[in-house]
Amino acid sequence: MPDLHTQDGIALHVHDWPVPNGVARRGALLLVHGLGEHSGRYDHVAAALGAEGVFVRSWDQRGFGRSAGKRAVLPHPEALLDDARLVYDALAADARAAGDDAPPFLLGHSMGGAVAARAATGGWIAPRGLVLSSPALRARTTLSQRVQLAVGRRLMPTLAVPNGLSVDALSRDPATIAAYKADALVHDRVTPRLAQFILDAGAQAIADAPRLRVPTLLLVAGSDRIVDAGGARAFAAALPDGVGTLHVYDALYHEIFNEREPDRGRVLGDLGAWVAERIAGQLAGARAR
Protein backbone atom coordinates (compact mmCIF):
# COMPACT_ATOMS: atom_id res chain seq x y z
CA MET A 1 0.00 0.00 0.00
CA PRO A 2 1.25 3.56 -0.65
CA ASP A 3 2.29 5.77 2.24
CA LEU A 4 -0.43 7.50 4.24
CA HIS A 5 -0.04 11.19 5.02
CA THR A 6 -0.98 12.76 8.33
CA GLN A 7 -2.66 16.15 8.67
CA ASP A 8 0.72 17.73 9.42
CA GLY A 9 2.27 16.22 6.28
CA ILE A 10 4.19 13.26 7.71
CA ALA A 11 4.45 10.29 5.31
CA LEU A 12 3.76 7.06 7.19
CA HIS A 13 5.27 3.91 5.66
CA VAL A 14 2.59 1.20 5.54
CA HIS A 15 3.29 -2.54 5.37
CA ASP A 16 0.62 -5.10 4.33
CA TRP A 17 0.60 -8.89 4.68
CA PRO A 18 -2.26 -10.33 2.58
CA VAL A 19 -3.87 -13.63 3.47
CA PRO A 20 -1.99 -16.53 1.77
CA ASN A 21 -3.39 -18.08 -1.38
CA GLY A 22 -5.82 -20.86 -0.56
CA VAL A 23 -6.80 -19.40 2.84
CA ALA A 24 -10.20 -17.74 3.20
CA ARG A 25 -10.05 -14.18 4.51
CA ARG A 26 -11.86 -13.92 7.84
CA GLY A 27 -10.77 -10.57 9.20
CA ALA A 28 -8.13 -7.86 9.41
CA LEU A 29 -5.73 -6.66 12.08
CA LEU A 30 -3.67 -3.54 12.63
CA LEU A 31 -0.31 -4.09 14.35
CA VAL A 32 1.46 -1.30 16.29
CA HIS A 33 5.23 -1.70 16.79
CA GLY A 34 7.28 -0.69 19.81
CA LEU A 35 9.90 1.91 20.73
CA GLY A 36 12.91 2.17 18.44
CA GLU A 37 11.78 -0.52 16.00
CA HIS A 38 9.60 -0.78 12.88
CA SER A 39 6.89 -2.82 11.19
CA GLY A 40 9.33 -4.95 9.18
CA ARG A 41 10.23 -6.96 12.27
CA TYR A 42 6.79 -8.64 12.34
CA ASP A 43 6.77 -10.88 9.26
CA HIS A 44 6.46 -14.04 11.37
CA VAL A 45 3.65 -12.60 13.49
CA ALA A 46 1.73 -11.66 10.36
CA ALA A 47 2.33 -15.15 8.95
CA ALA A 48 0.81 -16.76 12.06
CA LEU A 49 -2.25 -14.54 11.76
CA GLY A 50 -2.46 -15.02 8.00
CA ALA A 51 -2.77 -18.76 8.58
CA GLU A 52 -6.00 -17.95 10.46
CA GLY A 53 -7.32 -15.92 7.54
CA VAL A 54 -6.38 -12.52 8.95
CA PHE A 55 -5.10 -9.74 6.68
CA VAL A 56 -2.45 -7.80 8.64
CA ARG A 57 -1.39 -4.19 8.24
CA SER A 58 1.22 -2.25 10.18
CA TRP A 59 3.05 1.02 9.73
CA ASP A 60 6.25 2.62 10.90
CA GLN A 61 5.15 5.19 13.45
CA ARG A 62 6.23 8.78 12.81
CA GLY A 63 9.90 9.21 13.55
CA PHE A 64 10.56 5.45 13.31
CA GLY A 65 11.66 3.06 10.58
CA ARG A 66 10.91 4.23 7.04
CA SER A 67 8.36 6.85 8.06
CA ALA A 68 9.14 10.56 7.91
CA GLY A 69 9.57 12.81 10.90
CA LYS A 70 12.44 13.58 13.22
CA ARG A 71 13.45 10.55 15.24
CA ALA A 72 11.04 10.01 18.17
CA VAL A 73 9.69 13.57 17.99
CA LEU A 74 5.98 14.23 18.58
CA PRO A 75 4.43 17.57 17.56
CA HIS A 76 1.86 17.15 20.36
CA PRO A 77 1.16 14.45 22.98
CA GLU A 78 -1.67 12.72 21.09
CA ALA A 79 0.07 12.52 17.70
CA LEU A 80 0.63 8.75 17.82
CA LEU A 81 -3.02 8.17 18.70
CA ASP A 82 -4.19 10.34 15.82
CA ASP A 83 -1.84 8.49 13.47
CA ALA A 84 -3.13 5.11 14.69
CA ARG A 85 -6.71 6.18 14.01
CA LEU A 86 -5.73 7.34 10.51
CA VAL A 87 -4.15 3.98 9.63
CA TYR A 88 -6.92 1.98 11.32
CA ASP A 89 -9.68 3.83 9.46
CA ALA A 90 -7.89 3.26 6.15
CA LEU A 91 -7.59 -0.46 6.93
CA ALA A 92 -11.27 -0.68 7.90
CA ALA A 93 -12.26 1.00 4.63
CA ASP A 94 -10.05 -1.36 2.61
CA ALA A 95 -11.51 -4.35 4.48
CA ARG A 96 -15.07 -3.28 3.68
CA ALA A 97 -14.11 -2.89 0.02
CA ALA A 98 -12.86 -6.49 0.13
CA GLY A 99 -16.20 -7.71 1.56
CA ASP A 100 -15.05 -7.84 5.20
CA ASP A 101 -17.45 -5.66 7.18
CA ALA A 102 -16.15 -6.55 10.64
CA PRO A 103 -13.94 -3.94 12.34
CA PRO A 104 -10.24 -4.90 12.31
CA PHE A 105 -8.50 -6.25 15.39
CA LEU A 106 -5.84 -4.09 17.05
CA LEU A 107 -2.51 -5.48 18.33
CA GLY A 108 0.18 -3.42 20.04
CA HIS A 109 3.60 -4.42 21.36
CA SER A 110 5.48 -2.52 24.11
CA MET A 111 5.15 1.21 23.31
CA GLY A 112 2.70 0.10 20.64
CA GLY A 113 0.77 -1.62 23.41
CA ALA A 114 0.42 1.71 25.21
CA VAL A 115 -0.78 3.29 21.95
CA ALA A 116 -3.27 0.47 21.31
CA ALA A 117 -4.57 0.33 24.88
CA ARG A 118 -5.08 4.09 25.06
CA ALA A 119 -6.63 4.21 21.58
CA ALA A 120 -9.17 1.55 22.58
CA THR A 121 -9.95 2.88 26.07
CA GLY A 122 -9.96 6.54 24.99
CA GLY A 123 -12.22 6.24 21.96
CA TRP A 124 -9.72 6.77 19.13
CA ILE A 125 -10.34 3.23 17.83
CA ALA A 126 -13.17 0.71 18.37
CA PRO A 127 -11.58 -2.60 17.34
CA ARG A 128 -13.11 -6.05 16.95
CA GLY A 129 -10.64 -7.28 19.56
CA LEU A 130 -7.58 -5.89 21.35
CA VAL A 131 -4.25 -7.71 21.81
CA LEU A 132 -1.48 -6.31 24.01
CA SER A 133 2.00 -7.86 23.89
CA SER A 134 4.34 -6.85 26.74
CA PRO A 135 2.51 -3.49 26.80
CA ALA A 136 4.32 -0.46 28.22
CA LEU A 137 1.53 0.40 30.65
CA ARG A 138 4.00 0.99 33.47
CA ALA A 139 7.63 2.00 33.04
CA ARG A 140 10.65 1.06 35.08
CA THR A 141 11.75 4.57 36.11
CA THR A 142 13.71 5.84 39.10
CA LEU A 143 12.91 9.03 41.01
CA SER A 144 15.90 10.72 39.37
CA GLN A 145 14.65 9.74 35.91
CA ARG A 146 11.17 11.08 36.68
CA VAL A 147 12.65 14.40 37.80
CA GLN A 148 14.79 14.63 34.66
CA LEU A 149 11.73 13.82 32.54
CA ALA A 150 9.66 16.53 34.20
CA VAL A 151 12.38 19.12 33.57
CA GLY A 152 12.95 17.97 30.00
CA ARG A 153 9.24 17.97 29.22
CA ARG A 154 8.99 21.63 30.20
CA LEU A 155 12.26 22.92 28.74
CA MET A 156 13.20 20.59 25.83
CA PRO A 157 10.20 18.37 24.96
CA THR A 158 11.56 17.39 21.52
CA LEU A 159 15.21 16.83 22.43
CA ALA A 160 16.12 13.32 21.23
CA VAL A 161 18.38 11.37 23.60
CA PRO A 162 19.33 7.67 23.97
CA ASN A 163 16.39 5.63 25.25
CA GLY A 164 18.52 3.54 27.58
CA LEU A 165 16.94 0.22 26.60
CA SER A 166 19.06 -2.85 27.29
CA VAL A 167 19.09 -4.65 23.95
CA ASP A 168 20.21 -7.90 25.54
CA ALA A 169 17.05 -7.87 27.67
CA LEU A 170 14.77 -8.00 24.63
CA SER A 171 15.00 -11.75 24.05
CA ARG A 172 16.89 -14.86 25.11
CA ASP A 173 17.43 -15.70 21.43
CA PRO A 174 20.96 -14.68 20.31
CA ALA A 175 19.85 -14.48 16.67
CA THR A 176 17.14 -11.96 17.57
CA ILE A 177 19.62 -9.78 19.45
CA ALA A 178 22.16 -9.91 16.62
CA ALA A 179 19.52 -9.02 14.02
CA TYR A 180 18.25 -6.13 16.14
CA LYS A 181 21.75 -4.69 16.54
CA ALA A 182 22.40 -5.01 12.80
CA ASP A 183 19.07 -3.50 11.72
CA ALA A 184 19.71 -0.09 10.14
CA LEU A 185 16.05 0.89 10.62
CA VAL A 186 16.23 0.51 14.40
CA HIS A 187 17.22 3.57 16.44
CA ASP A 188 17.71 4.30 20.14
CA ARG A 189 16.15 7.77 20.35
CA VAL A 190 13.45 9.04 22.72
CA THR A 191 12.26 12.53 23.62
CA PRO A 192 10.74 13.84 26.87
CA ARG A 193 7.37 14.34 25.15
CA LEU A 194 7.34 10.78 23.81
CA ALA A 195 8.42 9.32 27.16
CA GLN A 196 5.72 11.29 28.95
CA PHE A 197 3.13 10.14 26.43
CA ILE A 198 3.99 6.50 27.13
CA LEU A 199 3.69 7.02 30.89
CA ASP A 200 0.43 8.93 30.61
CA ALA A 201 -1.12 6.58 28.03
CA GLY A 202 -0.45 3.55 30.19
CA ALA A 203 -1.78 5.12 33.37
CA GLN A 204 -4.92 6.43 31.67
CA ALA A 205 -5.56 3.11 29.92
CA ILE A 206 -5.48 1.31 33.27
CA ALA A 207 -7.77 3.92 34.80
CA ASP A 208 -10.26 3.56 31.93
CA ALA A 209 -10.04 -0.25 31.62
CA PRO A 210 -13.25 -0.85 33.67
CA ARG A 211 -15.23 0.79 30.85
CA LEU A 212 -13.72 -1.31 28.04
CA ARG A 213 -16.07 -3.84 26.44
CA VAL A 214 -13.75 -5.02 23.66
CA PRO A 215 -12.50 -8.64 23.97
CA THR A 216 -8.89 -8.27 25.09
CA LEU A 217 -5.90 -10.61 25.13
CA LEU A 218 -2.82 -9.76 27.18
CA LEU A 219 0.41 -11.64 26.42
CA VAL A 220 2.85 -10.80 29.20
CA ALA A 221 6.54 -11.59 29.62
CA GLY A 222 7.02 -12.69 33.20
CA SER A 223 10.76 -11.92 33.14
CA ASP A 224 10.41 -8.55 31.43
CA ARG A 225 13.24 -6.12 32.28
CA ILE A 226 12.15 -3.47 29.77
CA VAL A 227 8.68 -2.59 31.08
CA ASP A 228 6.95 -3.29 34.38
CA ALA A 229 4.70 -6.31 33.77
CA GLY A 230 2.61 -5.17 36.71
CA GLY A 231 0.99 -2.63 34.42
CA ALA A 232 -0.44 -5.35 32.19
CA ARG A 233 -1.62 -7.32 35.21
CA ALA A 234 -3.34 -4.21 36.59
CA PHE A 235 -5.00 -3.56 33.25
CA ALA A 236 -6.26 -7.16 33.07
CA ALA A 237 -7.55 -7.02 36.65
CA ALA A 238 -9.44 -3.79 35.95
CA LEU A 239 -11.30 -5.12 32.90
CA PRO A 240 -14.96 -6.09 33.32
CA ASP A 241 -15.67 -9.78 33.91
CA GLY A 242 -15.43 -11.84 30.76
CA VAL A 243 -13.62 -9.20 28.70
CA GLY A 244 -9.98 -10.07 29.30
CA THR A 245 -7.74 -13.11 28.78
CA LEU A 246 -4.31 -13.02 30.43
CA HIS A 247 -1.34 -15.22 29.50
CA VAL A 248 1.84 -14.77 31.56
CA TYR A 249 4.99 -16.49 30.27
CA ASP A 250 7.12 -16.62 33.40
CA ALA A 251 10.60 -17.15 31.94
CA LEU A 252 10.25 -15.08 28.77
CA TYR A 253 11.87 -11.72 28.05
CA HIS A 254 10.22 -8.62 26.64
CA GLU A 255 9.90 -9.58 22.94
CA ILE A 256 7.76 -12.66 23.44
CA PHE A 257 7.15 -12.99 19.68
CA ASN A 258 10.94 -13.19 19.20
CA GLU A 259 11.88 -15.65 21.93
CA ARG A 260 13.67 -18.95 21.43
CA GLU A 261 11.72 -21.92 20.17
CA PRO A 262 9.58 -23.62 21.32
CA ASP A 263 8.48 -20.56 23.32
CA ARG A 264 8.05 -18.37 20.25
CA GLY A 265 5.74 -20.90 18.65
CA ARG A 266 3.76 -21.27 21.88
CA VAL A 267 3.11 -17.52 22.10
CA LEU A 268 2.20 -17.23 18.42
CA GLY A 269 -0.04 -20.27 18.82
CA ASP A 270 -1.87 -18.64 21.73
CA LEU A 271 -2.30 -15.46 19.67
CA GLY A 272 -3.63 -17.30 16.63
CA ALA A 273 -5.97 -19.46 18.68
CA TRP A 274 -7.46 -16.47 20.51
CA VAL A 275 -8.05 -14.53 17.30
CA ALA A 276 -9.56 -17.59 15.61
CA GLU A 277 -11.84 -18.17 18.59
CA ARG A 278 -13.04 -14.56 18.54
CA ILE A 279 -13.75 -14.76 14.82
CA ALA A 280 -15.63 -18.06 15.17
CA GLY A 281 -17.68 -16.76 18.09
CA GLN A 282 -18.60 -13.54 16.33
CA LEU A 283 -19.55 -15.38 13.14
CA ALA A 284 -21.72 -17.78 15.13
CA GLY A 285 -23.39 -14.84 16.87
CA ALA A 286 -24.06 -13.12 13.55
CA ARG A 287 -25.65 -16.30 12.12
CA ALA A 288 -27.83 -16.67 15.22
CA ARG A 289 -29.18 -13.16 14.72
- The pLDDT of 59-69, averaged and rounded, is 98
**What pLDDT does 238 receive?**
98
Q: In this predicted model, which residue has the larger pLDDT, 151 or 92?
A: 92
> Residue 150's pLDDT band (boundaries 50, 70, 90)?
low
The one-letter amino acid code at 217 reads: L
Strands (E), the chain: 4-5, 11-12, 14-17, 27-32, 54-59, 105-109, 130-133, 161-162, 189-190, 216-221, 244-249
Q: What is the CATH number of the domain that holds 27?
A: 3.40.50.1820
Higher pLDDT, 206 or 164: 206
Tell me what percent of the residues of the chain surpass a pLDDT of 70: 93
What digits encode the pLDDT tens for the residues 243-274?
A: 999 999 999 999 999 999 999 999 999 999 99
Assign residue 10 a region: left if phi > 0, alpha if psi is -120 to 50, beta otherwise? beta
Query: Alpha-carbon distance 237 to 75, whole Å?
Result: 33
247 a catalytic residue: no
Q: Is 110 a catalytic residue?
A: yes
Coil, helix or strand at residue 155:
helix
**How many domains does the chain contain in total?**
1
Averaged confidence pLDDT in the chain: 94
pLDDT of 156 over the 80 cut? no
Confidence of residue 194 (pLDDT cuts 50, 70, 90): very high
What is the value of pTM for the model shown?
0.95
Distance CA 247, CA 133 (A): 10
The pLDDT of residue 122? 97
CA distance readout (Å), 193 to 49, 74, 85, 154, 201: 33, 7, 20, 9, 12
171 is catalytic: no
Please, how many CA atoms are within 13 Å of residue 221, restricted to the half-sphere of its CB? 26
**pLDDT beyond 90 at 287:** no
Of residues 272 and 1, the one with the higher pLDDT is 272
Range of the domain at 255: 4-288
Catalytic residue among 110, 133, 134, 171: 110
> pLDDT tens digit string along 86-110?
999 999 999 999 999 999 999 999 9
Active-site residue, selected from the candidate residues 60, 133, 254, 263: 254
> How much is the pLDDT for 164?
87
Q: What is the pLDDT of residue 145?
A: 64
Give pLDDT, residue 152.
65
